[in-house]
Amino acid sequence: MNDASPMPTDLALAPAHVLAREIAAKRVSPVDVVDALLSRINRFEPKLQAFVAVYGMDARLAAEGADKAIRSGHAVGPLHGVPVALKDLIELEGRITTGGSAMWRQRRSTVTATIARRMIAQGMIVLGKTHTVEFAYGGWGTNQHMGTPWNPWDGVDPRTPGGSSSGSGVAVAARLAPWAIGTDTGGSVRLPASYCGLTGLKATIGRIPTSGILPLSTTLDTPGPMARDVEDVALLYNVLQGPDPLDPNTRGVAPEDPLPVMRRGVRGLRIARMPEAERAGCDADVLSAYDRSLDLLAELGAEIVEIRLPFLLGDFVGAQAVTASEAYFFDRELVDDPGAQLDEAVRPRVLAGKNVSAQDYLATKRRQQQDKRVMAMAMEGIDALLTPTTPTPAIRLAEVDQMVFPSRFTRFGNFLEMCALSLPNGFSAGGLPLSLQICCPGYQEATALRIGWALQQASDHHLRLPPMVT
């Protein structure tokens, strides 16, 4: 952990790695950390609506237990006593897990997700569950019946928080939680990271188990950490990753600690700029920030190279056939019921899966394997491909077109089974965060984190606090 980071006076403003360091050194009590976060939640949550449920009393009780264990020399790991928020897809036995659906307001979990067990086994404290788009099927972060979290970067106009991990994005951006868990099927970690000014990791399929997480698409789903900086993301990723007998996708995928290589810098890495055609339709501020990021990496010693692709990155609409058909399989009982109170934007997305034939589904899966080979050939000798995470900063909710997905630059990473890191790389003229996406071949998360670390050591975009929650 980076011992150079100072401890702020308000404990809620400290990044997770600083909290972990101070708690382990017995200079800070987990009770004080939880109290600071709950105080901040009480102050800002009425407007932000990041949480579906806050486990205040239980979190404080867990903090008291952690404090006693640590003071008596019984710490169970380096993150003992550090709080975390969970997207409301992640099962906790005995707790309500709605999956973002008003129809499941009383749905009580009978199991605990593997990743939740891993965090709790490390002594981490669950603060509560965060809002999600219904069934996690949407990139804007809206939810008609359960509520749309308020993006804290604009205190006047409600803007998209990004989805589907909307509440996790808002909670971390507003410093209501030091970090949180999201899930990503077509960009659902990276989109809220982009719009909320966070760092978020979309891991390769099989790196982090999905058992005990309500599914959208078992082909494409992957959970991931959302935090303020690369160091926090790497620490939480280490806790989450590793084989799980309940998730066959993880079989044979050995965990790899990214921390030993993360601080090596980027000298010698070959990093591709996106093809010129991909710039069309991007906001001018987004492109300026993107170009500055490439220039900075070149100054830090990376070689910036060109890449040729036989497709546009936004062309992977075929992923929708997989997502919709698998979503319909899991949620068909509700979406087929015309009396069910479902989000009017989400129901047709799921219902579209009803019309995907077995032939079309299998043809899409075959195309996936072909496109993976094409991308692997294009990436030969290249360590990472850089794109903006989103073509624009967060737009006003009144301007959202639910027929359009904001996942132009993110969906291909899921379909091609790559990994990707999103991190802040500037601000628009209106003060909204902009975001860079670092895409790497599958199972090269350490490289993505290494590039992100180098950028954050040379910039301060990730340190800014949204003005409405100062």
Q: pLDDT at position 96, please? A: 98
Question: Is residue 9 pLDDT above 50, yes or no?
Answer: yes
Per-residue pLDDT reduced to its tens digit, 331-368: 999 999 999 999 999 999 999 999 999 999 999 999 99
Q: What is the pLDDT of residues 137-147, one digit of tens each?
A: 999 999 999 99
User: How sure is the predictor about 2, in pLDDT bands with cuts at 50, 70 and 90?
Assistant: very low
Q: 11-469 domain in CATH 3.30.2310.20? A: no
When pLDDT is cut at 50, 70 and 90, the band that residue 1 belongs to is very low
CA 438 – CA 269 distance, rounded (Å): 13
Q: Report pLDDT for 353.
A: 97
Query: pLDDT of 104-119, one tens digit each?
Result: 999 999 999 999 999 9
| Known catalytic membership, residue 407 | no
pLDDT of 45-59, one tens digit each? Answer: 999 999 999 999 999
87 catalytic per annotation: yes
Structure tokens at 241: 């990753």
Q: Which residues have CB under 8 Å from 393's CB, separation 6+?
A: 195, 283, 285, 286, 428, 430, 432, 433, 434
Res. 7 pLDDT band, cuts 50 70 90: confident
The rounded percent of the chain whose pLDDT value lies above 90 is 97
State both tokens at 52: 């579906």
161 vs 50: CA distance, rounded Å:
10
Query: Confidence band (pLDDT; 50, 70, 90) for 5?
Result: confident
CB 144 within 8 A of CB 438: no
pLDDT score of 35 more than 70? yes
Residue 217 is a catalytic residue: no
Question: Which residue is catalytic, options 164, 165, 166, 407?
Answer: 164
SS (H, E, C) the chain: CCCCCCCCCCHHHCCHHHHHHHHHCCCCCHHHHHHHHHHHHHHHHHHHCCEEEECHHHHHHHHHHHHHHHHCCCCCCCCCCCEEEEECCECCCCCECCCCCHHHCCCECCCCCHHHHHHHHCCCEEEEEECCCHHHCCCCCCCCCCCCCCCCCCCCCCECCCCCCHHHHHHHHCCCCCEEEEEECCCCCHHHHHHHCCEEEECCCCCCCCCCECCCCCCCCEEEEEECCHHHHHHHHHHHCCCECCEHHHCCCCCCCCHHHHCCCCCCCEEEECCHHHHCCCCHHHHHHHHHHHHHHHHCCCEEECCCCCCCHHHCCHHHHHHHHHHHHHHHHHHCCCCCCCCCCHHHHHHHHHHCCHHHHHHHHHHHHHHHHHHHHHCCCCCEEEEECCCCCCCEHHHCCCCCCCCCCCHHHHHCCCEEEEEEEEECCCCCEEEEEEEECCCCHHHHHHHHHHHHHCCCHHHCCCHHHC
pLDDT, mean over the chain: 97
For 361-389, how does the pLDDT look when each residue is reduced to its tens digit (9 = 90+)?
A: 999 999 999 999 999 999 999 999 999 99
pLDDT at 167 (0 to 100)? 99
pLDDT, average across residues 225-235: 98
Of 29, 87, 129, 166, the active-site residue reads: 87
Average pLDDT over residues 156-173: 98
Residue 131 has pLDDT above 70, yes or no: yes
Please tell me the predicted confidence (pLDDT) of residue 3.
52
Which of 134, 125, 149, 141 has its CA nearest to residue 45? 149
Which residue in the list 101, 165, 168, 188 is annotated as catalytic?
Answer: 188
Question: Residue 259 pLDDT more than 60?
Answer: yes
